[in-house]
Amino acid sequence: MAKKTIKTVKEKAVEAALALAAKDGWDAVTLHAIARKTKIPLHELHDHFEDRYDIIAAWGRIIDKKVLANAGAPDPDDDTSPRDRLFDLLMERLDVVNEQRDGAKAILSSFKCDPKQAVICLPHLCRSMGWMADAAGVETGGIKGVAKIAGLTALYLKALWVWRDDDSTDMAKTMASLDQSLGRAERWAENLGFRA
């Protein structure tokens, strides 16, 4: 008999928020609507989220955890280049996002109308990219590390926008765009003396 997975309050809230966003758009998603859909009292949601932007941050952490779990433990004998590891991790991340495609697209579309939301969410995405860089074996310490994470965040955002319009089953356009961006970033890093 399969073991039943018990979802946390955060997981239930994120799932409900994405479903609501897919149906009505992100602008229509409120904590009250999430409480009603999940049957979780508002005071309990308040224990986990400060506002609806925290829902996006929580979703990012859920994505991070899935990607890192799928990546497994670092293998000291793995001679794959950091660029190839980053490509695999970011494509894995986009595969996870793709599981909630309509909700994710609704959130991305809302950023155009509400730039404040993008600014609020950016530090959370930078932290996620720090985890992806660490998982790929990219050195992220010091000023150079900050620049690498900022660059990785920018190229992931670009890949997200390509993914949003990529309706192919194999995400070929997204893969090509990500590969091209990573190639440019690698050349840029080499020119500036940045090492992985």
Q: Identify the domain containing residue 22 by its residue range.
A: 9-72+81-191
Let me know if residue 4 belongs to a domain: no
Let me know if residue 43 belongs to a domain: yes
Flag whether the pTM goes above 0.85.
yes
Domain harbouring 116, CATH code: 1.10.357.10
If you compute the radius of gyration of the chain from its CA atoms, what whole number of angstroms results? 18
What is the Cα–Cα distance from 176 to 159, expressed in whole angstroms?
9
Let me know if residue 23 belongs to a domain: yes
Q: Report which of 135, 115, 106 is spatially closest to residue 26, judged by C-alpha positions.
A: 106
- Whether residue 90 contacts residue 159, with contact meaning beta carbons closer than 8 Å, is answered with yes
In the predicted model, is pLDDT for residue 166 greater than 80?
A: yes
pLDDT number for residue 87: 94
Tell me the pLDDT tens digit for each residue of 91-122: 999 999 999 999 999 999 988 877 788 888 88
Give how many domains the chain has, as a whole number.
1
Q: What are the tokens at 174?
A: 């997204």
Let me know if residue 101 belongs to a domain: yes
Of residues 191 and 150, more confidently modeled: 150
Q: What is the mean pLDDT of residues 168-180?
A: 92
Let me know if residue 36 belongs to a domain: yes
**How far does CA 145 lie from the centroid of its chain?**
19
What is the Cα–Cα distance from 130 to 152, expressed in whole angstroms?
9
Angle formed by the axes of helices 115-136 and 142-165, nearest 10°: 110
Let me know if residue 160 belongs to a domain: yes
Low-confidence winner among 11-20, 27-36, 45-54, 76-85 (lowest mean pLDDT):
76-85
Let me know if residue 196 belongs to a domain: no
Under the banding of pLDDT at 50, 70 and 90, the label for residue 19 is very high
Side-chain half-sphere exposure of 193, counting CA atoms within 13 A: 1
Q: Report which of 80, 99, 98, 177 is spatially closest to residue 138, judged by C-alpha positions.
A: 80
